[in-house]
Chain A
Amino acid sequence: MKPPRGSASPGSSAPHASAPKDTGHRPASAGDGDGRLSRRRFLGLALVGGAALALAVYLPHRSRGPAASHAGASEDGPDLFVHIEPDGAVRIKVVRSEMGQGVRTGLPMIVAEELDADWSSVVVEQGDADPRYSMGTGGSQSVYRSWDLLRRAGATLRAMLVSAAAARWGVDPSLCRTHAGWVLGPGGQRLSYGELSAEAAALDLPRDVVLKDPAAFSLIGTTPPRYDGEDIVRGQAVYGEDIRVEGMRFASLERPPVPGARLRRLDDAAAREVEGVIEVLSLDVGVAVVAETTWAAFRGRRKLKLEWDEGDATWFSTAEYDRRLQDALQKKGKTVREEGDAERVLSSSDLVIEADYSVPFLAHATMLPLNCTARVDGDGAEIWAPTQFPNWARREVLKALKLPEEAVVLHVPLLGSGLGRRIYPDIVLEAVAVARGLPFPVQLVNTRADDFRHGVYRPGNAHRLRAVLDEEGFPRAWSHRIAGPSISASWWRRTPHPEAYEIQGAADLPYAVPHLRVGFEYVPVPVKLGAMRAVARVNNAFVTESFVDELAHAAGRDPLQYRLDLLERARDFEFDGDPIQPERIAAVLRLAAEKAGWGRALPAGRGLGIAVNSYGSCRTITAEVAEVEVDREGRIRVHKVWCAVDCGVVVHPDLVRAQFEGGVVFALTSVLESALSFERGRARETDFRHYPLLTIDKTPEVEVAFVPSGRAPGGIGEPPVPPLAPAVANAVFAATGRRLRSLPLGMA
Chain B
Amino acid sequence: MVLEIRVNGETHTVEVSAGMPLLWVLRDVLGLTGTKFGCGQGDCGACTVLVDGRPRRSCITPVESVVGREILTIEGLAGREMHRVQKAWLDEQVVQCGACQPGMILGAVALLQEHPHPTDEQIDRALAHHLCRCGTYQRVRRAIHRAADEGER
Contact between chains at A367 and B43 (CB < 8 Å): no
How far does the alpha carbon of A238 sit from the alpha carbon of B43 in the complex, in Å?
A: 23
Q: Which of B97-153 contact A (CB under 8 A)?
A: 97-102, 105, 123-125, 127-141
Query: How far is A445 from B21 in the complex, measured between Cα atoms in Å?
Result: 16
Q: Determine whether the beta carbon of A688 is less than 8 Å from that of B39.
A: yes
Are A234's CB and B74's CB within 8 A? Answer: yes
Q: A234-B82, A688-B41, A688-B131 are in contact. Are A661 and B35 (CB under 8 A)?
A: no
Chain B contacts for A419, CB-based, 8 A: 133
Tell whether, in the assembled complex, residue A662 and residue B136 are in contact, meaning their CB atoms are under 8 Å apart: yes
- In the complex, whether A296 has a CB less than 8 A from a CB of chain B is yes
A-B contact count (CB 8 A): 185
Within 8 A of B (CB), among A677-703: 687-689, 693-697, 699, 701-702
CB A254 to nearest CB in B, in angstroms, measures: 16
Q: Which residue of A lies closest to B78 (CB)?
A: A234
CA separation between A234 and B82, bound complex, in Å? 8
| Pairwise interchain contact B93-A654, C-beta atoms closer than 8 A | yes
Tell me if A696 and B86 are in contact (CB < 8 A): no
Within 8 A of A (CB), among B61-100: 73-75, 77-78, 82, 86, 89-90, 93, 95-100
Q: Known contacts A295-B28, A693-B133, A701-B138; is A237 also within 8 Å of B124 by CB?
A: no
Q: Of A99, A367, A702, which contacts B132 at CB under 8 A?
A: A367
Check A416–B124 contact: CB distance below 8 A.
no
- Residue numbers in A under 8 Å from B96 (CB-CB): 100-101, 417, 658, 662
- Residues 8-43 of B, flagged 1 when their CB comes within 8 A of A and 0 if not, give 000000000100110110011101011111111101
Is A615 on the interface with B (CB-CB < 8 A)?
no
Contact A695 B128 (CB under 8 A): yes
Interface string of A285-303 (1 = CB under 8 A from B): 0000000111110100000
Contact residues in B for A702 (Cβ distance below 8 Å): 138
Do A416 and B97 have beta carbons less than 8 Å apart?
Answer: yes
CA distance A244 to B34 in the complex (A): 12
- Contact partner of B89 (CB less than 8 A), chosen from A233, A415, A416, A693, is A233
Cα–Cα distance between A293 and B20 once the two chains are bound (Å): 10
Verify A366–B133 contact, CB threshold 8 A. Answer: yes
Are B135 and A699 in contact, CB atoms less than 8 angstroms apart?
Answer: yes
Residues A298 and B95 in contact in the complex (CB < 8 Å), given A236-B75, A664-B135, A696-B130: no
On whether the beta carbons of A235 and B73 are closer than 8 Å, the reply is yes
> Which secondary structure dominates where chain A touches chain B?
loop
With a cutoff of 8 Å between Cβ atoms, the chain A residues found around residue B36 in the complex are: 239, 241, 367-368, 416
Interface centre among B36, B101, B138 (most CB of A within 10 A): B138
Cβ contact within 8 Å between B135 and A663: yes
Q: Mark A224-239, 1 if CB is under 8 A from B, else 0.
A: 0110111011111111
Q: Kindly identify which residue among B31, B97, B141 contacts A417, using a CB–CB cutoff of 8 Å.
A: B97
Q: Does B5 contact A (CB under 8 A)?
A: no
Shortest distance between the CB of B131 and any CB in chain A (Å): 5
Q: Let me know if A223 is at the binding interface, CB within 8 A.
A: yes
Q: How many residues of A contact B (CB 8 A)?
A: 63
- Looking at the assembled complex, report how far the CB atom of B49 sits from the nearest CB atom of chain A, in whole angstroms: 10
Contact flag A694-B82 (CB < 8 Å), given A223-B93, A298-B40: no
The answer to whether B50 has its CB under 8 Å from any CB of chain A is: no
In the complex, what residue of chain B is closest to A238 when comparing beta carbons? B33
Whether A447 is near chain B, meaning CB under 8 Å from some CB there, is: yes
A447 to B130, CA, bound (A): 18
Partner of B34, one of A234, A365, A414: A234
Given A234-B78, A367-B100, A294:B37 Cβ within 8 A: yes
Partner of B37, one of A223, A415, A445, A689: A445
Restricting to A288-322, which residues have a CB under 8 Å from any CB of B? 292-296, 298
A665 interface residue, CB < 8 Å from B? yes
**B44 interfacial contact with A, CB 8 Å:** yes
Q: Which residue of A lies closest to B34 (CB)?
A: A235
With A223-B93, A234-B74, A662-B96 already in contact, the answer to whether A100 and B37 are too (CB < 8 A) is no
A674 to chain B, nearest CB (A): 11
A666 at the interface (CB under 8 A from B): yes
B-contacting residues, A634-662, CB 8 Å? 654-655, 658, 661-662
> B7 interface residue, CB < 8 Å from A?
no
In angstroms, how far is the closest chain A Cβ from the Cβ of B15? 10
Question: Which residues from chain B contact A366 at a C-beta distance below 8 Å?
Answer: 133
Q: How far is the CA of A237 from the CA of B34 in the complex (A)?
A: 7
Known A233-B95, A250-B28, A295-B21: A417·B133 in contact at CB below 8 Å = yes
A243 CB to closest chain B CB (Å) equals 8
The answer to whether A233 and B97 have CB atoms under 8 Å apart is no
A579 contacts B by Cβ under 8 Å: no
CB atoms of A100 and B34 under 8 A apart: no
Partner of A237, one of B23, B46, B73, B98: B98
Nearest CB of B to A97, in Å? 11
Q: Let me know if A697 and B98 touch, CB within 8 A.
A: no
Q: Which residues of A contact B37 (CB under 8 A)?
A: 241, 294, 368-369, 445
Chain A neighbourhood of B41, CB < 8 A: 448, 687-688
B71 nearest CB across to chain A (Å): 13
* A87 interface contact, C-beta 8 A: no
Are B131 and A367 interface neighbours, CB within 8 A? yes
Nearest-Cβ distance from residue A348 to partner chain B, whole angstroms: 47
Whether the pair A233, B90 counts as a contact (CB closer than 8 A) is yes
> Is A275 among interface residues, defined by CB-CB distance under 8 A?
yes
Report the nearest B residue to A702, measured CB to CB.
Answer: B138
The interface residues of chain B lying within 8 Å CB-to-CB of A292 are 28
In this assembly, does A242 line the interface, its C-beta being within 8 Å of a C-beta of chain B?
A: yes
A276 within 8 Å of B (CB atoms): yes
Most buried by B among A100, A235, A236, A296: A235
Give A230's nearest chain B residue, CB to CB: B90
Residues of B within 8 A of A663 (CB): 135
> Is there contact, CB below 8 Å, between B131 and A414?
no
| Contact B39–A239 (Cβ < 8 Å) | no
Contact of A293 among B28, B73, B75 (CB under 8 A): B28
Tell me the chain A residues, 250-283 only, with Cβ under 8 Å from chain B: 250, 275-276
Q: In chain A, residues 391-406, which have Cβ atoms closer than 8 Å to a Cβ of chain B?
A: none
Residue of B29, B35, B77, B137 most packed against chain A (CB within 10 A):
B137
Q: Is the CB of B35 within 8 A of A368?
A: no
Q: Chain A nearest CB: distance from B134 CB in Å?
A: 5
Could you tell me if B130 and A368 are in contact, using CB atoms closer than 8 angstroms?
A: no
Which chain B positions have C-beta within 8 A of A229? 89-90, 93, 95
Shortest distance from the beta carbon of B84 to any chain A beta carbon, whole Å:
11
Instruction: From known contacts A230-B90, A234-B82, A662-B135, infer whether A695 and B28 are also in contact, taking CB-CB under 8 Å.
Output: no
In this complex, what residue of B is CB-closest to A448? Answer: B39
Q: Contacts A295-B21, A688-B43: A233 and B101 contacting too (C-beta < 8 A)?
A: yes
With contacts A223-B93, A229-B90, A414-B98 known, what are 5 further pairs, Cβ within 8 A?
Answer: A232-B102, A367-B44, A419-B133, A687-B41, A693-B132
Question: What residues make up the interface of A, taking CB atoms closer than 8 Å to B?
Answer: 99-101, 223, 225-226, 228-230, 232-239, 241-242, 244, 250, 275-276, 292-296, 298, 365-369, 414-419, 445, 447-448, 654-655, 658, 661-666, 687-689, 693-697, 699, 701-702
B residues neighboring A (CB under 8 Å):
17, 20-21, 23-24, 27-29, 31, 33-41, 43-44, 46, 73-75, 77-78, 82, 86, 89-90, 93, 95-102, 105, 123-125, 127-141
The 8 closest A-B pairs by CB, nearest first: A235-B34, A665-B135, A235-B74, A100-B97, A662-B135, A100-B96, A242-B33, A232-B98
A-B contacts, 26 listed (Cβ < 8 Å): A99-B97, A101-B96, A225-B93, A229-B93, A230-B82, A232-B98, A233-B82, A234-B74, A234-B77, A237-B98, A241-B37, A244-B31, A294-B37, A295-B24, A295-B28, A367-B46, A367-B100, A367-B132, A448-B39, A665-B137, A666-B133, A693-B131, A694-B135, A696-B132, A699-B138, A702-B138
